[in-house]
Structures are given as C-alpha cells and as structure tokens.
A and B are shown apart, each in its own frame.
Chain A
Amino acid sequence: MNKDTSNINSLENEAIYIIREVAAQFERPVLLFSGGKDSITLVRLAVKAFYPAKVPFPLMHIDTGHNFPETIEFRDRLVKELGLELIVRNVQDSIDEGKVKEETGRYASRNQLQTTTLLDAIEEFKFDACIGGARRDEEKARAKERIFSVRDDFGQWDEKNQRPELFDMLNGQIDLGQNVRVFPISNWTELDVWSYIEEENIEIPSIYFAHKRKVFLRDGMIWSADDEVVYRDDHEEVVEELVRFRTVGDMSCTAAVLSDATTITKVVEEIRESTISERGARIDDKRSEAAMEKRKQQGYF
C-alpha cells in the first residue's frame, strides 16, 4: 500500500533523467539501436521515461549486413510490439556507393565502416542528438566520455576539449551542424545491465544464451563458423560447441564464449564470476592499445 520509490535503482533514475533531458533539449533526437543488450536496455528505459506517452523519437539501426539473423528478427519484433519507429541504414549501400571500401583478409570486419554510414544518416535526418548504449566501464577511452558528448560538423570527438559536466546539469547547447552523443547508461557496468535485464524481465536475443554452434578457434578466441561472414583459413578446424555471446556486434568482430548458461539468472552468475572483460571478446579493440580512442575521434559510436 504505502509504496515508496526509494528502492528503485539509482542508475535507472539517472538514465531516465538523461533520456528526458534529450527529449526536452533537442529537436531531432534518435536512439541508436544495435540489437545488443545495451541498446535493448535503453529502449526499456525510454519506454519508462515517457509512459504513458509514446517514446518521442525513432530508433535507428546501422546494419552492417553481417548481423546475427537472430538480432534482426528480434529487432523487428521489438519495434512492432512497442509501436516504435525504426530507421535502418545499410553499410552495404555505403560500400555500393563507393564511400567506403570493404576490408579483406583474416581480420576483415565491417565494424569500422559503420562510422561513414552513421555520419551520413545523421546528416540525412539532421539528427541533433544520438542516444547510445556505451558505458564507461567498457573501455578506458570510454571512461573519459561525457554523458552529453559534443561532436563537430565532421562527427568527430575532441577528447582533450570536453565540456565539464557538473551535478546533473546537462548542457545540450550546440551550433548548427554539430550533434551530441548521449550516453544514459554511462555509469552502468556490464553486471548492472545484466542484473537490470533480469530484474525487469527484459527479453533479449537468443544468441546471448548458451546454444550449440559450429565454431573455430583462432588466437584463443571462439569464432562463429555458421555463416560465410567470418573469414576462415582452410586449416582452421570447425567444431561444434556449447557457446553464447557476451557482446553482440557485427559477426565479424564478435567472439563467443564457452558457456552452459541457458537462463538469465545463470548468465548473471557467470558474469559475476568472470575474469575476462566484456571487450576482451572484441577483436576491434585489440588492434592497438589506442584502438577505441582513434575510432572515437573519427566519429565511431
């Protein structure tokens, strides 16, 4: 009867506050949706922030064309169920138009190519704020990221010249042509996200749970061999293993982990005991120690 909101997660309160600030301060916001657990969490928070009204901005998915089919199927169902607007822009189109060149060889990935497609889409729709699910605990360059992070006309991040952010006052004033990347779950850790998904009973794509998959081993990591996307040498032997994905990006840069966690509770337990960081399964960060910082400067999400 006498319910009190004090037990509601403080990270959730903070995220809802940030999402509402975006709707209030910007003309054309968009939520960048990848189909991964972080952006699914963002959608949940946005729905909560504006209830009983509809989420006042669309979702946008930059489709590399190398997504897990389960992710795309999930995306379309989610959007339909929640009555949200979805914009899709394809990296394949950027390749066809000659704007970017496909990488080749062993470590080829379309992950970097996304940046061009994203920046073009921001210009096309004149988006002034892009909400994303990046978290500061993911990577050390991201630890320096603001909640409202200003990007210049070229979509670039000037990491040495960031606005100070004080209390919870978010300064969204920008010039024409600039845009702001907004990170409502900046202060969440991977475990926080999983615990929230468990607590809220949020549905996530099946690839996050343990399943049998044809894989091969390279550089101590497990790669999906289920499809033609990941380049595989003939000598790299395909085996079937019980795996799940801990982070879901482009198939070409996301490695699986051995796991028998078939329920969300088991996944949370597994994360709690894990000794490898989430981005340890991301080949794109391993290119160099400063890989993420460099991509961010160029406008990567």
Chain B
Amino acid sequence: MEVLKIATAGSVDDGKSTLIGRILYDTKSLTTDKLEAIEKTSKQRGYDYLDFSLATDGLVAEREQGITIDVAHIYFSTKKKSYIIADTPGHVEYTRNMVTGASTSQASIILIDARKGVIEQTNRHFFINNLLRIKDIVVAINKMDLVDYSEEVYNKIKADFETLMSKRDYQDQKITFIPVSALKGDNVVNKTDKMPWYKGEALLEHLEQLSKADIYNVGTPRFPVQYVIRPKTEEFHDFRGYAGKVYGGNLSVGDEVIVLPSKTRSKIKDIYFYNEKYETASRRSSVTITLEDDINVSRGDMIVKENDLPTIDKQFTANVCWMDATHLTPGGKYVVQHGVNKVLAKVDRINHKIHPDYSGIEKDVTELKVNDIASVTFKLNKPIFYDQFKNHRTNGSFILIDTQSNNTVGAGFIQ
C-alpha cells in the first residue's frame, strides 16, 4: 500500500491536534475504546465538545499542560493510502521539532488561525518547509466557523501568504489553500456546504489524489553501502553482497558504476531482494547488490553511476539548524553523520545567521543557539561524497553529533 508521510505546522492554539483528531474521527480511525477515553476526559474537564487533541497528546506533561511537547506520529488509512502524520509542536523547540517532522515527510500542512491571519510564526513554518524542500504544501485556514465562514477573510489571508511565497527560495513547491473548521469538521474529510464560495477539495480529498510524482524529489542514483554480506557458506562461498538503500534514482543490472572513495570501476552483476533477483532496484528499496569485480568495498563507501559523480571534498558549506542547548561555535568539533557515513568535522566559520521570518540575514555571528538557522562551513578529517541538498534530498543532508554527549545536536543541508 502507498504510504504518505505528512508533517503539520501551526502555532499554539491554532488547532493542530484538533485537526488531526478530526481527521481520525471522520475517517473512523478512532476505535471505540479510544473514543470512550476521549469522551470521558472531555467530560471530566467540563467541555461541551470532544477534545480531539486528547487522541494525540501522549505524555502526562502534555495532557496536564494541554500542549504538545514532542513529535508524535499518528497513523490512519483510507482505502487508497496509509497515512503517517508527524504532529510537530509549534513552541519552544519549534525549529527542532518541525525540521525533524518535515525531514521524513513528503507533504506538509501549515495551519493558520482565520482570526489571526498570517503571523510571524507562519513565516517560520513556511520558511522551514521551503528550506526542507517539501514539494506539496497545504495551507489550512482553520477556525473558519469563528469568522462566519467569510470569503473575504479567506482571500485576505491567501493574499498575505502569497506575498510570503514570492520570497521563497524553492519555487517548485505546490501550494494549496483550503478553508476549514477542524472543530466542526468543515472541509477536513468531508466538503462542507457552509462555504459554497470555495470550489476546491476538502483536505483529505486533496491528500488522497497526491501522486508519487507530486511529492518525491528525484535526483541521481546513490547507493551508500550499509553493510557487507559475506555468508561464507558452501552454497554462497564467494558471495560478497553490498546491502543498502537506493536513493535518488534507480539502479539496474549491467549499470557501469564507480565505487567511492577508491574510484574503482565495475558493473552491477545482480540485485537481490531477499532470495529473489531483480533487474532494477528502484528508489528507496533496501536491496543487496553484487558487482562483477572482486573489489574491496566497506560500510560508508558509495556506489554511483559512472557519469554521475557527486562532489568529493573535505569541506562543505551548509545551512545548519541547531537543535541543542549547548552552543555551536567556530572551532567546535562534531561528528558529521552523512547517511551511513561518519566523519569528524570542525566548524571552520559561521558565515551568517538566517532569520527564518524572512527578515534577512545577520553577519558577525559568534555562536548558534537552539532553534538558530545559519550558513556554516565545516572542515572534515576525510572526504565525503555529497550532492547539494537542492539536487539531492538524501545525499545533501547530514546530522551533527556531539562527541561528548553523543546527542544529535543539529541538522544540515549542503549548499
């Protein structure tokens, strides 16, 4: 079945959890026992409506404070697709959570409170979705019931958002505006008759018809070797398979390839998925490849097509989202995990900080704090094989690991 991962972004009280709860309710994805639990708690709190946010806020602290702290994953399916929604909270560590949620998503929903319109937070949400090059964005203008389902309000917000769109870097994004009321269920799963002026689809209808071509960024094939399979059994005595996931484009038997960093040439002999052989390994499949020649390949090496080499370099510049309470400073040392490859890196310089509200850049920055986004140049202890993020989502991104705490402290998008 087709799986669609969606990230959601909205400020506190924009009704994000309510929207997700509404989707679950209207697609009958909430089971009787879960629904009963929601009814019970809503009643205890004296609400005269069902508080759908209770379906997603899983931690005690979240229920106590009535807010979402951590990225939660919510699952539901229709006859057409399986959906995974990353519910990313909009406050405190918003950049960290949004970047995390968006990094694994193919589409994104940005929520706007119809009463408040486009606010500073909306700029940030859009900026991050643009930075991560999410191809399909839905701008859900929520709480339409509180503005009398006014077409004027909707048009004003749409026009304001379009001003924002002109500033974006990634122009190929498809943006769809939908007026909704999560609380009342208008235009979420079912089309409402309260806004006859809106001719488009309901939110779920829109998601249902998204095709792979709409949501996936295509690049050139990259095959980072994850694990070397050597059975050393009688039957497979000389078998030497390279296990990994295919990124960017397809690989086929007979393709002329180069193994990095050794730059050894060879040809793809067989493509295995379990005990079956295939002619073609498509993007995102976890296969095992054998080569015509007996060469030394290990984890972290990369198999690429002959006339399609990535950049091989010991330094790069990237947009970094800093996610930790510690600060990033020039001279700081980190582990760069680029796919399955790890190298030691040193911060050469912070070029400038980027204001995610589209108000420009800031030079002469000496450190990065949590939620900061900046252009940073790194020097590495050995070369990596990368593409620019704009050309290759997977091979152009990396995470930063603190050598002391082992925590994931940042994410980067290579320029």
Interface residues of A (CB under 8 A from B): 1-6, 8-14, 16-17, 20-21, 23-24, 47-54, 136-137, 139-144, 159-160, 162-169, 171, 173-175, 186-187, 189, 191-192, 195, 274-277, 280, 289-290, 293
Contacts and interface: CB of A to CB of B under 8 A. Distances in A.
Contacts of B74: 143
B332 interface: no
B58 A5 contact: no
Nearest to A53: B231
Interface residues of B, number: 82
Given A4-B279, A173-B401, A187 B286 contact: no
Interface stretch (B118-126, B334-342, B345-353): B334-342
B273 interface: yes
A164 B96 contact: yes
Contacts of A159: 59, 70
Contact of A160 (B61, B96, B281, B398): B61
A275 B32 contact: yes
Contacts of B72: 140, 143-144
Contacts of B63: 289
Given A4-B279, A50-B229, A163-B408, A169 B399 contact: yes
Per DSSP, chain B at the interface is mixed
Nearest to A200: B274
Contacts of B155: none
B407 A163 contact: yes
Contacts of A187: 3, 73, 75, 84
Given A47-B274, A192-B82, 6 more contacts: A10-B2, A20-B243, A51-B272, A144-B72, A167-B394, A276-B31
B31 A24 contact: no
A98 to B, nearest CB: 32
Interface of B: 1-3, 31-34, 37, 41, 55-61, 63, 69-75, 77, 82, 84, 96-97, 99-100, 103-104, 226-227, 229-233, 235-236, 239, 241, 243-245, 250, 271-288, 299, 323, 335, 337, 339-340, 393-394, 397-399, 401, 406-408, 411
Contact of A174 (B56, B276, B397, B406): B406
Contacts of B241: 52
A162 B233 contact: no
A51 B288 contact: yes
B328 to A, nearest CB: 15
A118 B25 CA distance: 38
Contacts of A192: 1, 82
21 contacts: A5-B280, A9-B1, A20-B227, A20-B244, A20-B286, A24-B226, A48-B274, A49-B243, A49-B286, A50-B227, A139-B58, A140-B57, A143-B56, A160-B59, A164-B97, A164-B323, A167-B399, A168-B245, A169-B399, A171-B408, A293-B58
